[in-house]
Amino acid sequence: METKEKSIPALQQILHNLRDLEEQRLQHRDVTFSLLTQLHEASSIFQELLAREKPGEQTSTVINYCLMKLEMAIKQVEFGNVGDGLSFSESVILYFLHQTSATK
């Protein structure tokens, strides 16, 4: 199980990896599999965090929102819209990181 203290650095690393994938994509490399792997990892982290939160709490609402949006990003990538899925997933993770730093 992920704790918040472990999940923040893990999501920051995923964000870094997504930025690397964006550079590779711009060099016309296929990053679909690697991107989906990163997105599924982020989704797992969010799901584990959600399992530790009380329903109705602000953090729980933020995590649910991020999970929903991350699923949309995964669908974009699966349907071939890799660029939009990549940038959208970056914004979802950044949103979560911003929200969690604002609630400290």
What DSSP letter does each residue of 37-69 carry, written as one string?
HHHHHHHHHHHHHHHHSPTTSHHHHHHHHHHHH
Four-CA torsion 79, 73, 2, 15, nearest 10 degrees: 110
| Percent share of the chain, pLDDT over 70 | 95
Closest CA to 40 of 10, 6, 74: 74
CA distance 93 to 39: 10
What confidence score (pLDDT) does residue 77 get? 97
Per-residue pLDDT tens over the stretch 35-55? 999 999 999 999 999 998 887
Write the CATH number of the domain with boundaries 4-102: 1.20.120
Question: What radius of gyration, in Å, describes the C-alpha atoms of the chain?
Answer: 13
What confidence score (pLDDT) does residue 73 get? 97
Model confidence, pTM: 0.90
What confidence score (pLDDT) does residue 45 get? 96
Confidence bin at 1 (pLDDT 50/70/90): very low
